[in-house]
Amino acid sequence: MSTAIANKIYNTALGGSPVNPGLPETLSKLLVAQSQHETGNWKHRFFTVGNNCFGYAYVKGAKYQLPKGGDNADNGIPIAEYPSVENSVYEVIDWIYRRRKEGKFPKDLSTIRTPEQYAELLKNAGYYGDTLTNYLRGLKSFFQRSLI
């Protein structure tokens, strides 16, 4: 089952969203590791119930999310629910392209080659509130045990 989820995330990232092109191979693999880290290896209820691969918060009117928020996260903010894993991946692909336009991600996404680099880019772009050290530990662990 885990390999099937990893392949779905990876292949969706490679293929791109309805509005943005696919991501390079290494960045697509990093998205798989990020998803594993964010969802406790796809065991968290936000993933199992709402196809939320990345712990994304609910945003009213968001293109890929279901029209109502799911349960609240620890911070009291509703978590997004998606009709499919692919829609959750599309959300992050589009987020990365928006950050690229803002200059927070490199223009050439193929230059993102390591968990360290990706975790730092995510942190600097305001993606997560955890410390860089903690986030990197989880990301790196799953990246090194890649299912792809």
Tens digits of residue pLDDT in 69-124: 888 888 888 999 999 999 999 999 999 999 999 999 999 999 999 999 999 999 99
Any bridge partners for residue 72, and if so which? 78
- Within 13 A of 85's CA, how many CA atoms are on the CB side? 20
- Tens of pLDDT, residues 28-48: 999 999 999 999 999 999 999
Report CA Rg, the chain. 14
Q: What is this structure's pTM? A: 0.96
CA 57/CA 62 separation, integer angstroms:
10
Position of tokens 């829609």?
Answer: 87
On whether the CB atoms of residues 31 and 12 are closer than 8 A, the answer is no
